[in-house]
Amino acid sequence: MSAITTHVLDTSRGRPAQNVAIVLEWVEGGASHVLGRGATDADGRLRELLPAGQPVQPGTYRLTFHTGAYFAASGVDAFYPEVAILFEVRAAGEHYHVPLLLNPFGYSTYRGS
């Protein structure tokens, strides 16, 4: 399993959000570097953002969720075309799970387990 994972739940439907495109970046100084990308599965999860066994290093990371395309595919008008979550890794070697609770007009996130 990747050291960084995510899970997207569509709270307006009470279901996992399938096929949400996601990009993981390392952010340093004003630059960013893409580390991984993918889309959520039928359970709303993206388990392989980084190669299995690759530890994360301390620093700032960004997960960008392409939520506008997800809602547009269902014919839903949404306010946020994308959601970017910046988070800080302080301890190398830990697992970081960053869920996103999503609806067309709002979102919430937290550090999961």
Q: What is the pLDDT of residues 16-44, one digit of tens each?
A: 999 999 999 999 998 999 999 999 999 99
Q: Which residue has the tokens 């395309």?
A: 69
In this prediction the pTM is 0.94
Q: CA neighbours within 13 Å on the CB side: how many for 69?
A: 11
Residue positions in the annotated binding site?
7, 45, 110
Residue ranges per structural domain of the chain: 4-109
Round to whole Å and give the CA distance between 61 and 28: 9
CATH number for the domain whose boundaries are 4-109: 2.60.40.180
Residue positions in the annotated binding site for substrate?
7, 45, 110
In tens, the pLDDT along 44-61 reads 999 899 887 788 999 999
Round to whole Å and give the CA distance between 112 and 87: 12
